[in-house]
Amino acid sequence: MSEDINSDRRRFFGTAAMTIAAAQFALSGSASAQSGKAKPAELPKIKPGTNTSFATLKQIEAGVLNVGYAEAGPAAGPPVILLHGWPYDIHAFVDVAPLLASAGYRVIVPYVRGYGTTRFLSSETVRNGQPAAIAVDTIALMDALKIERATLAGFDWGARTADIIAALWPERCKALVSVSGYLIGSQEAGKMPLPPKAELQWWYQYYFATERGRAGYEKYRHDFAKLIWQIASPKWDFDDATFDRSAAAFDNPDHVGIVVHNYRWRLGLAEGEAKYDDLEKRLAEAPGITVPTITMEGDANGAPHPDPSAYAKKFSGRYAHRTITGGIGHNLPQEAPQAFAEAVVDVAEI
């Protein structure tokens, strides 16, 4: 499967700096330490699906959660946090993590609330799926792991989480890799109707808005998730074993509640928690992102996603966009792990 990179969307700032900046992003094989000191590294080549599991899985109390996460690489290495979306799990990064670990990075891959071995500490905590809450979970995890600043990289919900942290807490985000670019939204924006073909792509969101949809997802969550995988990545020929490894994460007792609340909240059909109101007000203003960023898109993404030209101006720091060709769909890290890992290494060098 080809993973050719088309990175000629928009370069960095100023004509005189363009060549230097492009060269920095083109460097493939060095990692930046937390001190900012570069360390040469060469990523080995990898075929998608080479790995099937993580060597180390851990648990840690962070905020309102006991978070399950995979860790790879040296504990003193520059930290990278890889964030998954729905309906996926940490296995989206099962090939990316060892690549980055081999380059000297400390790689953290957490299960989002409602997935895998992540659990709420209290039965009284609201099972809230709103984006601000999920972003705060990641900040709490960084605090628990004593990570002051990290490169954040993700797709789907994970890209949105990374975007939010980069926008609201830029001091915690060294650099950003975001599949499908700028995904920060708000309930107000969610009220705006789209053309019919665009609305059709969001069919599951409207399904989840009904109690029948909640019951249907509860009953058929594995079949539902597999259908989304097939629609979102129409050219990805994943096998049952690959899907089943991720689908096990959906057996989390809070999974359905978190997913349904997330999509209902987006449509203004469910309330969030008051403690996140100030954050949501700031996010509703569509804040810009100033940290060094690479956005990515697969050439066969069947999920709803904006055109890169629609969000390029939201990134005012050093920036590049990469379109990954060869039939790459929505789950870009798992379908094209080499390209994703190279983006993480390249953006961290800025």
DSSP string for 318-331 = SEEEEEEPSS--S-
CB 108 within 8 A of CB 140: no
CATH code of the domain covering residue 330: 3.40.50.1820
Using the structure block, give the residue that is written with the tokens 């989206």.
Answer: 92
The whole-angstrom separation of Cα 226 and Cα 208 is 16
| 313: phi then psi, degrees, rounded to nearest 5 | -75, -10
Determine the pLDDT at residue 6.
43
Q: Which residues form the domain of 63?
A: 5-348
pLDDT at position 30: 29
- Choose among 325, 349, 348, 345: nearest CA to 336: 325
Cβ neighbours for 53, distance < 8 A, ≥ 6 positions apart: 94, 245
pLDDT of residue 190: 85
Residue stretches of the chain with pLDDT short of 70: 1-41, 350
**Pair 149, 172: CB distance under 8 Å:** yes
Both structure tokens of 335: 């379908």
Task: Give the CB-side neighbour count of residue 160, counting CA atoms within 13 A.
Answer: 21
80 forms bridges with which residues in the sheet?
107, 151
**Three-state DSSP class for residue 38:** strand
C-alpha 127/C-alpha 326 separation (Å) is 39
Q: Phi and psi dihedrals of 293, rounded to 5?
A: -140, 140
Distance from the first to the final alpha carbon of the chain = 29
pLDDT at 350: 63
56 CB-near residues (< 8 Å, 6+ apart)? 70, 71, 72
State the pLDDT at residue 181.
96
Torsion sign over Cα 15, 17, 19, 21: negative
Length of the chain: 350
pLDDT tens string 170-229: 999 999 999 999 999 999 988 889 999 999 999 999 999 999 999 999 999 999 999 999
Could you give the 3-state DSSP secondary structure of residue 121? coil
* pTM (2 d.p.): 0.89
Task: State how many domains the chain has.
Answer: 1
Only one residue has tokens 């290495």, namely 77
**Helix residue ranges, H only, the chain:** 15-26, 96-102, 131-144, 157-168, 187-190, 196-201, 203-208, 211-232, 240-247, 255-266, 277-284, 308-311, 332-335, 337-348
